[in-house]
């Protein structure tokens, strides 16, 4: 501390003044572990240093406090409040171990409790991203939001049929049943599996945000399942029975003669699982020409061109003139 009572909190944490929130959090965790009284018993100097880095983190991890600190320097606390000359009051006897202390301290200061998995959670391979827990602080006794969130990436098949996942949450294995028919952006609530407040036993809920991976064929449009249906030229022109794919396996559908591109075939009850049954499956025909024509195919197409009775662009060129 300088003679005027001013602490350079950036130097205390050993970070540049341009350091972002993640860099500040990493620096604090490193120093907090180094100077924690459990690691340095009966070392008054280490305890004083520990309180100093805790105070620095309290200020620099709070965007409003950091803004005032950077704007007003040594007078920042008079511009809106601060920890004051007494530093951070820490009762080490409240905590069973260092991780309990860190979880509570980072929660009080408004930050997530773990660098790799915010909120202090471990996570299994089913997650894309870690847990995030909103634990706004404001001092001892202030209400704490103990809820947490995480994202799970699901294959299209798992979302369609439903699945089970085993998650690692705070060293606890939790079985999660994902019901059939969940959609991208759906949320599942696991009651009592969120952040744990040390010393109280209070625990929030865990919300799982479900993200569906794209499928090469199937597309979900609201409650309807869609896909393109490749058809040959003769199938489009002449119609007939064709074999198609559905989520349940192959099926036969009747293509009407002169099928118009853009019009869909509807298979009722063959689509996405809904609360009251199954939605519809919509198959939209697209013309699929062979990459290379055989000699016979080319000959037949030449005959078709010669025998064609209608101009497909009749009236179109005239109507397109400006």
List pLDDT tens digits, range 125-163: 344 344 445 444 444 444 578 888 888 899 999 999 999
At 314 the pLDDT is: 85
pTM for this model (two decimals): 0.53
The pLDDT value given to residue 139: 41
HEC-encoded secondary structure of 203-238: ECCEEEEEEECCCCCCEEECCEEEEEEEECHHHHHH
pLDDT of residue 77: 62
Contact 235, 281 (CB under 8 A): no
Q: What's the confidence (pLDDT) of residue 80?
A: 53
Q: What's domain 1-90's architecture?
A: Orthogonal Bundle (1.10)
What is residue 76's predicted lDDT score, i.e. its pLDDT? Answer: 61
Looking at domain 219-320, does it have CATH number 2.60.260.20? yes
Domain 112-214 sits in which CATH superfamily?
Urease metallochaperone UreE, N-terminal domain (2.60.260.20)
Relative orientation angle of helices 44-60 and 21-35, to the nearest 10 degrees = 170
Report residues of the chain scoring pLDDT below 70. Answer: 1-6, 71-143, 170, 199
Task: Write out the residue limits of the CATH 1.10.287.110 domain(s) in the chain.
Answer: 1-90
End-to-end CA distance of the chain: 79
**Of residues 190, 117, 184, the one with CA closest to residue 153:** 184
What pLDDT is attached to residue 86?
39
**Distance, CA of 286 to CA of 206 (rounded, Å):** 44
Q: Alpha-carbon distance 53 to 46, whole Å?
A: 11
User: Would you state the pLDDT for residue 129?
Assistant: 40
Give the pLDDT of residue 146.
83
Query: Residues of CATH 2.60.260.20 domain(s) within the chain?
Result: 112-214, 219-320
């Amino acid at each position: 501390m300088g003679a005027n009572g001013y602490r350079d909190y950036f130097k205390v944490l050993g970070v540049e003044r341009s350091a972002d929130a993640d860099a500040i959090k990493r620096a604090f965790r490193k120093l907090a572990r180094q100077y924690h009284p459990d690691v340095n018993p009966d070392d008054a100097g280490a305890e004083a240093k520990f309180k100093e880095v805790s105070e620095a983190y309290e200020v620099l991890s709070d965007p409003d406090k950091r803004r005032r600190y950077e704007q007003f320097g040594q007078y920042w606390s008079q511009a809106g409040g601060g920890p004051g000359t007494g530093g951070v009051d820490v009762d080490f006897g409240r905590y069973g171990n260092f991780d309990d202390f860190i979880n509570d301290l980072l929660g009080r200061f408004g930050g997530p409790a773990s660098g790799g998995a915010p909120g202090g959670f471990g996570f299994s391979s089913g997650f894309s991203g870690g847990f995030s827990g909103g634990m706004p602080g404001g001092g001892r006794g202030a209400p704490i939001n103990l809820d947490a969130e995480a994202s799970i990436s699901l294959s299209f098949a798992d979302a369609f049929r439903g699945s089970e996942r085993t998650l690692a949450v705070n060293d606890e294995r939790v079985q999660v049943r994902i019901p059939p028919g969940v959609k991208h952006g759906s949320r599942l609530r696991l009651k009592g599996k969120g952040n744990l407040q040390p010393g109280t036993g209070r625990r929030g809920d865990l919300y799982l945000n479900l993200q569906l991976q794209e499928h090469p064929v199937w597309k979900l449009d609201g409650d309807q399942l869609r896909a393109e249906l490749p058809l040959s030229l003769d199938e489009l022109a002449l119609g007939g029975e064709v074999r198609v794919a559905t989520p349940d396996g192959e099926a036969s559908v009747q293509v009407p003669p002169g099928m118009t591109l853009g019009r869909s075939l509807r298979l009722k009850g063959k689509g996405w699982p809904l609360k009251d049954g199954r939605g519809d499956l919509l198959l939209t025909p697209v013309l699929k020409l062979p990459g290379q024509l055989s000699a016979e195919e080319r000959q037949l197409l030449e005959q078709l061109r010669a025998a064609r009775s209608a101009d497909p662009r009749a009236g179109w060129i005239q109507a397109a003139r400006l």
